[in-house]
Structure 1
């Protein structure tokens, strides 16, 4: 009986692998999961936490006024302004281009008066699936059969996490950050798998371009620019030929002055609010003696009375936009002073990080919201395909020390392969070391950037980048283990030096 079952499985194996090779199967599964989650009623999405105002104004949209449930339930539709919009420059971001493209599609296929956010979500999904396809190609390079399917299925499990994909149905910048990081890693993997300098440069140039675009998405990326550049050193080491290497160096070196120039082109309308709340909702509540700590960075200690207040506090003793607060508090602060403050007070920093991490893990099982009246109140927390978020919320440690231990593991593994690779005359493993250690740097800097920018305000959402990098590094370690790229031998090195780059089936 078992023999017949085995024979039947072997008969079905050929047609299945022909019609559903690993990468194609992964993309189909992700497409199904995202479609059910984002497009099929009851629709899931993220609730506005008060951050939408500038984005909506800049794109000719507005909230439904006098809606008491607006900040409680997911709202998928927004009125489109029917007159000239004077606020198009209040919020500049790459995200606006995608929103305008979605509005155009909405006007063509749905309505000129009401915008359905699912048009924006559809654009995100297409970009996401294209990026994941490249990532799976890199992860399963030269693999066939069970090993390729295993990597792809683990990738589907990790990347379909609702805590990431639910933001596709929103106006937050997190979807773009998530998608861009996938492209960045995918292009890096694909570059290291080429032997032709022109093909290497094509993918490497894509990596640099992704970093450039990321700077137009969020100012928080400015804190991560150095780590992204560290990743890019790997490509400079790997590419052969003086002219190609020089081109790569010029591309990476241009990122810093370009970022400075770009920052000078437009103002940051949320600067005062961010700098205010970074102190009042971040540094000061986590400090035992906030007045003394303020004095250490040349800020009037009397401002400790503002501890725990929001920038837009409705019943504040003194309005945050008054000259007293502006000149006596906000003007005395800067991101440089905040960085100095958190460096001088590591205990405060760790307390905030721990609070954010615990909050993120504890809310994994309740990351989305339905439309009002879409389902019964008792069913409101039931979310399709939320198993990835739930399982990861249970198994991931809720202590920041876990990330330190994980970093030590990754550094140790790739340092071994890097040293052995150099001993055997291959620079590939040094390049991989630079990229993966750079990703670790991004992961840790992603912990600190939200705190510096806005304290513990929305820290749960803004810590998404750390989770994304952790998941991607898990996939990279799994893939490199299967490829024998960790404890390498001469046969492995010879295989990587073979000419020809056979593409995986899709």
Structure 2
């Protein structure tokens, strides 16, 4: 007992809650991803585009037999001419190239071990968790800080999140950059570190996240528009000019990410938006097609996928283009859902059923050599993802209630801050609302853009946004700062005899 007490006192003195959280997530992730049996994610067919454009190829003759079921960690590196050009732009390629360079520097070979990528992601993620917990625990009681750090480990150390690092899915970049966005935003709100550095890193993280996947294009646009609040937190003209230019650049990245979506991907998504969306739960598919002036004979495509081996129509035929694809777009699909709220409600409830699943059920986590069943999932440090999926009410109504409750809790302090023209104080609600809207964009873009096709993975933005917003709210509840956000530059009440985390507060 005495030993435990001494260890606790030593940690209180020398280890900050942020360092504790970062170390915890780091150790758990190392054990999960870099120690046998390695945990990763199986390919669902999406790897091909990102691999070939970055100089990698499938060198396992049995690779196709591993689709969906087994994680594969070794890939071949093109040694000569790579005839496969980049099919689309993604910031994910930067990380793949960097990990390939690191691999060749440490262990020159004609093969690439994906664990090098996992190691790089893991270091970036550890830094993100450190900054997030630093922002959450700044200037509160040390013991409460450790509780928040433990909750952060429980959530962000979950292998349903970190297994993405041993894969070529873009969700790895989304996860890391979203956590950085939240961290830099909160640090800016709390006036921790340099404002110029925090706003620059916040926008940079948003840019990388936006350009990581085409479906994330709305993130840049939404963040740039709501980011107007960031301009007013300082009166200096230089700061406002820099912030305004950064937000304009972010808006450009968002628009550019949408405009540069390859036509092939747009066609696939359009097909699924109709067959796996509009037609899927329609009581009368033929009547639904008439709303788009499409011949009712195409109702036979209801529920089909673009890549189905046997279809009544050839996808790239002039007939399909003229009589089907040219008849509608994402805008007309949005209008259809608005004018058919009952159908929209069905699709939103389908989305809600997948919206609380972090780990896609379709993809396995183990290598075939481990001997696990095809598609088996790991149970190692998966408590949060299991609890979340098992207990969350899977209806869109619950999501709406959650949004109303969260916004209701933070609205009084926001209204007070606006009336008092204390713009930095208003940032807390702005950030909360921003990440809620980003999460909702993940749902709406998925439904309008591709129906229910691969919905579990497409809603990753929502499930991540739900977690970060809920964690911030829980922190403010525990710190008793929901209605009083005046923690900037002021000393908050702490337990007697305990200094607030981070040292003395800056006096106003």
Aligned to 2:13: 18
* Alignment match of 2:229 (pick from 214, 230, 234): 234
| Distance in 2 of aligned mates of 1:65 and 1:333 | 41
Within a 5 Å distance, the mapping from 1:80-479 to structure 2 comes to 80-194=77-191, 199-261=194-256, 263-264=258-259, 267-359=262-354, 361=356, 368-377=364-373, 380-422=376-418, 426-479=422-475
TM-score after normalising by structure 2:
0.89
Aligned to 2:46: 51
Aligned to 1:77: 74
For residues 382 and 212 of structure 1, do their structure 2 counterparts lie closer, same or farther at Cα, with a shift above 3 Å needed?
closer
Alpha-carbon distance, 1:345 to partner: 2.6
SS in 2 for 1:79: strand
Instruction: Output one character per residue of 1:326-351: Cα deviation in whole Å (capped at 9) or x when no partner.
Output: 22212333222222233223332332
Structure 1, gaps ≥5 residues long: none
For residues 136 and 195 of structure 1, do their structure 2 counterparts lie closer, same or farther at Cα, with a shift above 3 Å needed?
closer
SS in 1 for 2:393: coil
- Equivalent pairs counted in the alignment come to 493
Aligned to 1:504: 502
Structure 2, gaps ≥5 residues long: 493-499, 504-508
CA contact (8 A) 1:78 1:116 kept: yes
For residues 256 and 304 of structure 1, do their structure 2 counterparts lie closer, same or farther at Cα, with a shift above 3 Å needed?
same
| Distance in 1 of aligned mates of 2:152 and 2:467 | 9
Alpha-carbon distance, 1:408 to partner: 0.9
| Distance in 2 of aligned mates of 1:442 and 1:362 | 17
Deviates more, 1:431-440 or 1:350-359: 350-359
Alpha-carbon distance, 1:135 to partner: 0.9
For residues 425 and 274 of structure 1, do their structure 2 counterparts lie closer, same or farther at Cα, with a shift above 3 Å needed?
closer
Alpha-carbon distance, 1:472 to partner: 0.5
CA contact (8 A) 2:141 2:501 kept: no
Instruction: Output one character per residue of 1:305-359: Cα deviation in whole Å (capped at 9) or x when no partner.
Output: 2112211221112221222212221233322222223322333233223223324
For residues 108 and 428 of structure 1, do their structure 2 counterparts lie closer, same or farther at Cα, with a shift above 3 Å needed?
closer
Aligned to 2:497: none
CA contact (8 A) 2:95 2:117 kept: yes
For residues 317 and 41 of structure 1, do their structure 2 counterparts lie closer, same or farther at Cα, with a shift above 3 Å needed?
same
What's the C-alpha RMSD, in Å, of the aligned pairs?
2.7
CA contact (8 A) 1:208 1:232 kept: no
| Distance in 2 of aligned mates of 1:102 and 1:402 | 41
CA contact (8 A) 1:58 1:90 kept: yes
CA contact (8 A) 1:233 1:435 kept: no
CA contact (8 A) 1:280 1:308 kept: yes
| Distance in 2 of aligned mates of 1:389 and 1:13 | 29
Alpha-carbon distance, 1:68 to partner: 4.9
